[in-house]
């Protein structure tokens, strides 16, 4: 949530600023839609009533605490508030859209997995914190708004960070990169990529699972949307989420970027004026997550090949829920990932060998053989 370049000294100040900004943002939609401030209860869910009670109590306590703050602190706060208000003054909402989003959020928030310890007893109030975060996000990101599944995703941030403000900003940062997965095109694109990757790894399974209209492979969609949240045990799923979000072993990671940058620099300063061959070595869109999905498919290759239609496929994949072992899956995924990189490197060098018949030939051949 903090910019990478910020220092330890700056961060507490940034946090203050972000806290106030979040509050101003939240207050803005609350003022425009006073009817939506509170969760609409239909009176059937006793747990939810308790949740509201806990949430209200907590808010009261926080308000009382604020009253005892010093003059100086309050002055600083009001300055930050003014700043934030100016910042968000011009933001306008499509109230109709937002109300629709809130309607779905109100339906979905109670459906978040509340058997987790985090939501037990007084923790029930956290459901309403989650609700505020999701509505604020939807209000200020109308292009993304709210999509089912975001509650599960955001809940993971909240559970780990246990702070409304931190969760909001972390979730927003995460969504900068992944919000497209929650839009119709993004979903489709991800499944297309998965299909392309599977084609590289196992053409036979690919032709069995992938048809022109992508209908069969739709069963992977839930895995990819929520990073296998429902397939692994909860703590494993959390760990996996962290692994996937840190971009380690990803072809777009910072390290790779830096390496590419240095390569470009080196090329710029080299005096050789040879034509630069732009061969596509690796497809950087293949994220680790896609490899993971492919690994699970390959692991269950035989079972999948014996499925004759969508019905059997979806039955089979539902049967996997909660049954997979994270460590072994990760290990196998890593293997597939490295093999893919190795093979791509080999292919790339091979084609370079063919193109350049120069003095380096011998060296390139040697290099290529390292990857075979």
Partner 1 sequence: MQVPWNFRFGIVILGDSSVGKSSLLHRYTEGTFDESRQSPLGIDFKVSNMYFDPDVVIKLLLWDTAGQERFRSICKSYMRNSVGCILMFDVSQRQTFDRVRSWQQEVLDYVKPNPMFFVLVGHKCDLAVGRQVRKSEGDALAKKLNMLAYLEVSTKENINVKETFETLTRGIYNLFQQGKIPTRGDWQGLTVGATVQKESPVTKKSACCNCG
Summarize as ranges the residues that interact with partner 1 (CB under 8 A).
Answer: 42, 44-45, 47, 103-104, 107-108, 110-114, 147-149, 151-152, 182-184, 187-188, 213, 215-216, 218-219, 221-222, 225-226, 230, 308-312, 314-315, 318
Q: Which is nearer to partner 1, 271 or 311 (CB)?
A: 311
| Tokens standing for residue 315 | 């039955």
Nearer to partner 1, 212 or 272 (CB): 212
Burial of residue 260 (CB within 10 Å: 0-12, 13-18, 19+) is exposed
Smallest gap from Cβ 180 to partner 1, in A, equals: 11
Q: Mark 277-300 as b/e (b = at least 16 C-beta within 10 Å).
A: eeeeeeeeebbbbbbbbbbbbbbb
For partner 1, the closer CB: 92 or 309: 309
> Hey, what are 55's tokens?
């949430």
Closest distance between partner 1 and the C-beta of residue 57, in Å? 22
Q: What is the C-alpha separation between 22 and 77, in angstroms, rounded?
A: 13
Distances (CA, A) of 371 to 263, 350, 365: 20, 10, 10
Closest distance of CB 199 from partner 1, Å: 20
CA distances from 30 to 95, 188, 351 (A): 11, 34, 61
Task: Provide, rounded to whole angstroms, the least separation between the CB of residue 179 and partner 1.
Answer: 11
Least CB distance to partner 1 at residue 144 (A): 10
Beta strands, E only, 170-257: none
Nearest CB to partner 1, comparing residues 156 and 216:
216
Task: State the angle between helix axes of 326-355 and 184-201 in degrees (0 to 180), rounded to the nearest 10.
Answer: 70
DSSP 3-state of 324 = coil
Residue placing its CB nearer to partner 1 in the complex, 166 or 231: 231
8 Å CB contact between 173 and 1? yes
Report the residue number, 231 or 250, with the smaller CB distance to partner 1: 231
In angstroms, what is the minimal distance from the CB of 92 to partner 1?
22
């Amino acid at each position: 949530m903090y910019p990478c370049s910020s220092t330890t000294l700056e961060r507490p100040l940034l946090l203050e600023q972000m806290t106030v900004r979040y509050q101003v943002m939240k207050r803005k939609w609350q003022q425009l839609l006073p009817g939506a401030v509170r969760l609409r209860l239909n009176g059937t869910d006793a747990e939810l009533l308790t949740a509201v009670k806990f949430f209200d109590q907590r808010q009261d306590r926080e308000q009382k605490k604020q009253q005892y703050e010093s003059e100086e602190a309050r002055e600083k706060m009001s300055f930050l508030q003014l700043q934030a208000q100016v910042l968000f003054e011009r933001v306008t909402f499509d109230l109709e859209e937002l109300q629709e989003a809130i309607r779905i959020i109100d339906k979905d928030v109670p459906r978040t997995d509340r058997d987790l310890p985090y939501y037990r007893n007084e923790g029930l109030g956290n459901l309403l914190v989650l609700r505020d975060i999701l509505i604020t996000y939807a209000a200020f990101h109308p292009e993304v708004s709210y999509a089912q599944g975001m509650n599960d995703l955001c809940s993971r941030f909240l559970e780990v960070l246990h702070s409304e403000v931190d969760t909001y900003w972390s979730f927003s940062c995460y969504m900068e990169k992944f919000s497209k997965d929650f839009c119709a095109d993004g979903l489709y694109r991800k499944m297309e990529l998965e299909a392309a990757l599977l084609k590289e790894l196992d053409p036979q399974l690919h032709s069995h699972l992938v048809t022109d209209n992508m209908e069969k492979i739709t069963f992977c969609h839930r895995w990819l949307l929520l990073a296998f949240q429902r397939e692994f045990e909860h703590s494993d799923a959390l760990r996996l989420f962290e692994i996937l979000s840190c971009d380690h072993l990803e072809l777009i990671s910072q390290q790779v970027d830096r390496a590419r940058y240095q390569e470009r620099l080196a090329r710029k300063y080299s005096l050789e004026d040879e034509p630069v061959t732009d061969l596509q070595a690796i497809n950087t869109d293949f994220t680790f997550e896609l490899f993971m999905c492919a690994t699970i498919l390959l692991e269950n290759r035989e079972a999948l090949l014996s499925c004759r239609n969508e019905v059997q496929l979806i039955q089979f994949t539902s049967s996997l829920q909660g049954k997979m072992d994270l460590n072994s899956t990760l290990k196998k995924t890593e293997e597939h990932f490295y093999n893919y990189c190795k093979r791509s490197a080999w292919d790339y060098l091979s084609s370079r060998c063919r193109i350049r018949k120069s003095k380096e030939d011998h060296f390139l051949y040697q290099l290529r053989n390292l990857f075979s």
